[in-house]
Structure 1
Amino acid sequence: MHKQIYVNLPVKDLARSKDFFEAVGYRFNPQFTNDKGAGLELGDNLYAMLLSEEFARTFTPKTLIDNKTSTGGWVCLSCESREEVDALVAKARAAGGSIPSEPQDYGFMYGHGFEDPDGHHWELVYMSGMPPQE
């Protein structure tokens, strides 16, 4: 099976996006970062490639959507605790991100999220168990 994941996300202002994610507490891999894109390290073998819109257009003939008005998908990341979920959302808010909804508590799973400056939705979840069987 797969050993790594790279989620490619177009961004309008690469420098602004890098500043945002660094303020949230993430790092960038300098080997995969230049003026066209930045390799955002999300965990062991988990990456988001933030690509300038101009560079992103070289990979697809399709129109890039405006993530502030449309949803093409979202990134969901697991966290070690509810506190980590809430701390990351608080850091994103303080860095200028928006919070599209209230936290969701399903008993076995707790989630909350934020939108980055380009409107990409990042959902953070902590799972304390498995869902109940019906």
Structure 2
Amino acid sequence: MSTNLFISLPISDLERSKAFYLALGATFKPELSDDNGVCVAWDDNVFFMLITREFFATFTDKPIADPKETVQVSLNFSRDSREDVDAVIAAGLAHGGTEPKPAQDYGFMYSRDLDDPDGNNLGFLYMAPEGVEAGAEAPVAAQA
């Protein structure tokens, strides 16, 4: 059985958000899009549903958080190299994103955060193969 992951994000401008995520390397799925939201795919199993705040509110009775003010979740994506991390951050910055804090370099792992134009937080990271092999011990060893 294959599992698809659909992550819904409240956004304020459909076209701006679509352009932003396409610049990061996602692809547009018109068959899953309309005037209330657009679907972008990261790969065959991971999708973002970028939904207008007004329509998003119809799915819940809870208040919709303003991602520029609060963080509920950070979505993190692995990349094949440090250069790939830097390239996706550069594309995001060029398309209205912001980098909320400096890069984190632990030697075995390199990561950078990117907020989309609405403030939703994305992380992009590269972990060297030796970091993956060391598993949970890698962060402790890096701090020693």
| TM > 0.5 fold call | yes
1:74 correspondence with 2:74: yes
Over 6 Å off, 4+ runs = none
Letter in 2 for 1:56: F
Q: What secondary structure does 1:100 align onto?
A: coil
**SS of corresponding position for 1:90:** helix
Give secondary structure in 2 for the equivalent of 1:89: helix
1:88 corresponds in structure 2 to 88
Task: Give the total of aligned pairs.
Answer: 134
1:125 paired residue number:
125
Residue 42 of structure 2 aligns to a residue in which SS?
strand
Question: Cα offset for 1:56?
Answer: 0.6
Contact 2:25-2:42 at 8 Å conserved across structures? no
Q: What is the one-letter code of the residue matched to 2:54?
A: E
Please list every run of 5 or more consecutive structure 2 residues that lacks an aligned counterpart in the other structure: none
Are 1:104 and 2:104 counterparts? Answer: yes
* Greater fraction strand: 1
Moved more, 19-28 or 45-54: 19-28
- In the alignment, does 2:91 pair up with 1:60? no
Partner of 2:80, secondary structure, is: coil
Say which structure is richer in helix: 2
* Amino acid across the alignment from 2:110: Y
How many angstroms apart in 1 are the aligned matches of 2:2 and 2:111? Answer: 26
Query: Structure 1's 132 and 22: CA in aligned 2 closer, same or farther, altered over 3 A?
Result: closer
- Match for 2:98: what amino acid? S
- 1: CA distance between counterparts of 2:22 and 2:54? 22
TM-score between the two structures when normalised by the length of structure 2: 0.86
1:132, CA displacement in angstroms? 5.8
Larger deviation: 80-89 or 102-111? 102-111
Q: Which of the two has higher C-alpha Rg?
A: 2
How far, CA to CA, are the matches of 2:26 and 2:75 in structure 1?
15
Unaligned runs of 5+ in 1: none
| Alignment TM-score, normalising by the size of structure 1 | 0.92
- The one-letter code sitting in structure 1 at the alignment partner of 2:116 is D
Name 1:27's counterpart in structure 2: 27
The match for 1:38 is 38
Structure 1 Cα separation of the partners of residues 43 and 113 of structure 2? 17
| Cα distance in 1, alignment partners of residues 51 and 42 from structure 2 | 16
Q: Provide the identity percentage.
A: 40
Secondary structure at the aligned position of 1:43 is classed as: coil
**2: distance between equivalents of 1:132 and 1:122?**
22
Cα distance in 2 for residues equivalent to 1:125 and 1:94: 19
